[in-house]
Amino acid sequence: MILVHDYTMAVFCLVVCMICWGSWANMQKLTAKTWRFELFYMDFIVGCLIAAVIGAFTIGSLGSEGRPFLMDLAQADSTSIWYAVIGGIVWNLGTFLLVAAMAVAGMAVGFPIGGGLAWVLGILINYFIEGYQGNKAMLFIGVVLIITAIILCMQAYRRLAGSQHKTTTKGIVISILAGITIAFFYGLVVKSLDPAFVGGGTGNLAPSTGVFFFAVGAFISTPIFNYFVTRYPVQGERISLLAYFKGSAYTHFIGIVGGIIWMAGMVISFIAVGSAGPAIGYALSNAAPVVAIFWGVIIWKEFKEAPKGTNGLLAAMFALFIIGLVLITLSK
């Protein structure tokens, strides 16, 4: 398999992951006017599984380190597999909620609140898993700055919703639930890994194998979660899952590309997590809200109708995210 051992290169890989995780939702935005998020998500998960399999047979099988994917698969124990699968199920539930939040409140709200909260909680969870070795004060100052940025995002959204006479409660509540849920997935997948590859690992899987079983967990849980969100939608009327087969080839392709983008980030992240450590690995890769803020505010113009003064809040939010990101990186 291929692994990254240099910290600088590991940070680069995690930044690439951050860009992937902050950009995949653009695919959902491209189809949002004609395609419900519940249906988009089915293609998204297919894309995730495709990318995980490709990663297993390339990054997970090439190179001179560790065990190739098929050899690692043959020696995998059930406890390690279940940690990764459950990590995929937990992430899937949280991401369902995150996509729902974006459908209700927009990308510039769902990601900073849901993704930002997941970021902070996940850093703390992985901090305790790893037994963090680094500048703890700098790490926690970065976390505090991110929390402040999340609060500013919530205030900006309230101003926008108030000017449009919309309720803000549903979008914010779903985003918070998404963040709390997503925060636990990374640590579960880390526990499935062999400690020879990453600190905090308690299993016997190589990184690419852990990511593969993570994708399997997400894939098998999607029909169950999708059944409930189509019967009890957060937005719009009930729909039948059979509506999925009415989508165009282009629409399905866009969803699959979204999944490939996300899972490519996951694969890249886990070849670097051994060098960076779980706390830093999670902190940098899950800085995706910074990227999503850029897409939502600059490209999709989600706050163009917000009242005067909102841009100042957004600028401060973006700055705090960036400063927090830098401090967390330097804390290692």
Q: Is the pLDDT of residue 33 over 60?
A: yes
Q: Is 317 exposed, middle or buried (0-12, 13-18, 19+ CB in 10 A)?
A: buried
For residue 200, report the phi and psi dihedrals to the nearest 5 degrees.
Answer: 95, -10
DSSP 245: G
CA distance 247 to 92: 22
Copy the structure tokens of residue 62: 């090439």
Q: Is the pLDDT of residue 73 over 90?
A: yes
Hey, what's the torsion of the CAs at 295, 258, 107, 212, to 10 degrees?
-110
Decide if 83 contacts 253 (C-beta within 8 A).
no
CB crowding 42-63: b at 16 or more within 10 Å, else e: bbbbbbbbebbbebbeebbbee
Q: Is the pLDDT of residue 276 over 70?
A: yes
CA 110 to chain centre: 12
DSSP 241: G
The pLDDT of residue 167 is: 47
Q: Is the pLDDT of residue 165 over 50?
A: no
Closest C-alpha to 267, from 189, 212, 200: 212
Please report which residue ranges of 106-206 form alpha helices under DSSP H: 107-110, 116-130, 136-163, 169-182, 185-191
Model confidence pLDDT, tens digit, residues 194-220: 999 998 899 999 999 999 999 999 999
Q: Which residue has the tokens 């080839």?
A: 249
For residue 106, report the phi and psi dihedrals to the nearest 5 degrees.
Answer: 100, 160
CA distance 1 to 72: 10
Per 3-state DSSP, what percentage of the chain is helix, strand, and coil (rounded to 5)?
75, 0, 25
Mean pLDDT of the chain, nearest integer: 87
Q: Which uninterrupted H or E stretch holds 80?
A: helix 78-105
N-term to C-term CA, the chain: 25
Model confidence pLDDT, tens digit, residues 98-151: 878 877 776 666 767 887 788 888 877 877 766 667 788 998 898 889 888 878
Model confidence pLDDT, tens digit, residues 172-189: 888 889 999 998 998 899
Amino acid at 34: T
